[in-house]
Homo-oligomer: A and B are copies of this chain.
Amino acid sequence: MGEFDLIDRFFKRPVSRNPLGIGDDCALLAPAPGMQLAVSSDMLVEGRHFLSTVDPFKLGHKALAVNLSDLAACGAKPLAFTLALSMQLAEEAWLEPFSRGLLALADEHLCELVGGDTTRGPLNICIAVFGEVPQGQALLRSGAKAGDEIYVSGTLGEARLALEAFRGTLTLAAEAFEAARARMEQPTPRVALGQALRGVATAAIDVSDGLLGDLAHILRRSGVGARIDTAVASGLMTPACSGAIDTERRLEYVLAGGDDYELVFTAPASAREAVQAASRQANTPVTRIGGIETETGLRLVDAQGLSINRRYGSFDHFA
């Protein structure tokens, strides 16, 4: 199977948004009047972002999901993506389920594959994703203000729990393992919530490196600090998983597990109703976990409001 055959066979489909279809030198996109184009690119490397044994269908899902999560964090509506794929062999047994998983999630979000590249090399999946957002309405990292409240969507820490189980540092019962593994292998980008939060949230980011580490980007760009209620946060792991580990480890995975692809965002206290309405509209639960403060830095407090002195790292590929 040659390079162009495999594109035709697994990735070429009727297109509507790109007037050319796949196969010209460039794809052509035209955002609607008054819209800005939101652009992001994430690369997934075998052995770093996924295990070599992962189901290719789930890998196709995840490769696009982590990119859609960046659009969600900006409040952008997905439009299109490009796929650059390096692999050692062009094997149908891998390409067929990979493309199926990728395009199933793309269809769910009406996000069209408009171009890309295929080459031989160590397995590497690089997607660039394009969305649209009304001029000036993108959710940024820089808008948090003292007095804002901090929310996070969904649940946290399960992906890290699954990773530790794969690494063999802990053992999980079947139910907990399957629940954790599903979160690690098929994260749900919070695309609808991001769009519903436009005009409501003052700042947002998606949680990929760990809750505290990603929140720290908001704090730095906004020039503020934060207090996080660990008693609330520790309840954020899904019940099927939270019983499988002790309290301390649970808190660590929730606060600094990584690979969660939930949204952490800020909104003024006056917007509590609007936040709840956005949550209902997007059918995505959100939990208030703390507040933005003038003093810079990040403070963890327990149920009694007392400071907890413990540091949690954030994932860094080169640290």
Contacts from A to B (Cβ < 8 Å): 1-4, 6, 20, 23-31, 33, 35-43, 45-49, 70-71, 73-74, 76, 80, 82-86, 89-90, 114-122, 124, 126, 128, 130-131, 133, 135, 138, 140-142, 204-206, 217, 221, 316-319
Check B122–A26 contact: CB distance below 8 A.
no
Q: Are A82 and B121 in contact (CB under 8 A)?
A: no
Chain B: minimal CB distance from A315 (Å): 9
- Decide: B115 and A39 in contact? CB cutoff 8 A: yes
Complex Cα spacing A117 to B36, Å: 21
A25-B73, A26-B76 are known; give 18 further A-B pairs, CB within 8 A.
A2-B316, A4-B316, A24-B140, A25-B40, A25-B74, A26-B40, A27-B39, A28-B36, A28-B133, A30-B37, A39-B114, A40-B82, A42-B84, A43-B84, A43-B117, A45-B122, A48-B121, A89-B318
In Å, the complex CA distance between A43 and B117 comes to 7
Question: Which 3 residue pairs spanning A and B have beta carbons closest together?
Answer: A45-B121, A128-B128, A126-B126
Q: Is the CB of B28 within 8 A of A37?
A: yes
Chain B residues in 8 Å Cβ range of A122? 45, 121-122, 124
CB distance from A283 to the nearest CB of B (A): 22
Chain B nearest CB from A92 CB (Å) reads: 12
A25 pairs with B84, CB closer than 8 A? no
Q: Name the residue of chain B whose CB is nearest to the CB of A47.
A: B121
Q: Are B126 and A43 in contact (CB-based, < 8 A)?
A: yes
Residue picked from A24, A90, A117, A205, most chain B C-beta under 10 Å: A24
**In the complex, chain B residues whose CB is within 8 Å of the CB of A29:** 36-37, 39
